[in-house]
Amino acid sequence: MKSIVQIFCLVSAFFLAGSTLMAQQPPQGGGTENAPKKGDIYKRKNIEERVPLPYHHLEEKDIVWEKRIWRVIDVHEMINNPFAYPPKPFITILTESANEGNIPIYGTDEFVDTIPMADLLSKLSRVDTIANIDEWGNPVEDDPLTEKREDITIIREEFNPENVTRYRIQEVWFFDEENSRMGVRIVGIAPLMEIRDRQSDKVLGESTMFWVYYPEARSILAREKAFNTASDVDVMSWEDIFEMRLFSSYIMKESNVYDRRIADYMKNPLDALFESENIHMGIFNLEQQSWQH
């Protein structure tokens, strides 16, 4: 009886060791099409095949209230850190897609006139010419023998994605009477680039690089991976970030008869922040009142 138990234990140990070895072996069949990318343990398909869900169709007769809002996203805020993800920041996704012709870019938030690619490239890099002087402060003359220009130095400054620290969002809030709900849809996105002094590196201001019409960019953003701070398994796209509103922002303007920004009539930054919150709460209270009636 004892020998039978020993034989059974040996056979069980043999099969257990074999199954463990098989579990550690990579799959042999199927070629390389099912092989994971180097660095991953399985092939990720969901982000490559993702298609944005179509919006619910809206009828003009069903929209009983509408307000256009402009927001600012600051990448320095913790929840907005994915916008500045070093391997591929959000501005790189926009500029590469525009350079490849996948996303048209516009000069204003009216989305009428597109920007030529040459203008975009000139914004992404800058060339300066500096006059050379000798140790006594006199201009350096050209070398007539080599025909090489010695009087100037050409400095090319490549575009630095870190100079884009904020984004502007244009969106429309509306109340749909047919579905009895408040909704919001993003209309456009604009990166804001810091303007710095070459000598002191001090920030002098910022400029709008271009505008992207969000509905035209949704299909591209749905296939672009965004860093998920919660889990590496749940792959999120940039379309998820915007549609699920996984970002922090503040209102800098609402549609008004004077077309003014909040900063135009609220000079104190703290008062401007309070006004931004008042506009936000006004939209929230309107939604609550609609449910009461």
Q: What is the pLDDT of residues 90-104, one digit of tens each?
A: 999 999 999 899 999
Q: What is the pLDDT of residues 18-73, one digit of tens each?
A: 444 444 444 444 456 677 777 777 776 667 778 888 998 999 999 999 999 999 99
> Residues 188-199, buried b or exposed e (16+ Cβ, 10 A)?
bbbbbbeeeeee
Determine if the pTM surpasses 0.75.
yes
> Residues 53-70, buried b or exposed e (16+ Cβ, 10 A)?
eeeeeeeeeeeeeebebb
Non-local CB neighbours of 238 within 8 Å, separated by 6+ positions: 90, 93, 221, 222, 224, 225, 226
Q: Averaged in consecutive runs of 10 residues, what is the pLDDT profile of the chain (293 residues)?
A: 52 48 46 71 74 90 94 95 94 93 94 86 67 57 53 66 94 91 94 80 84 96 91 87 96 95 93 94 80 56
What distance lies between CA 141 and its chain's CA centroid?
Answer: 48
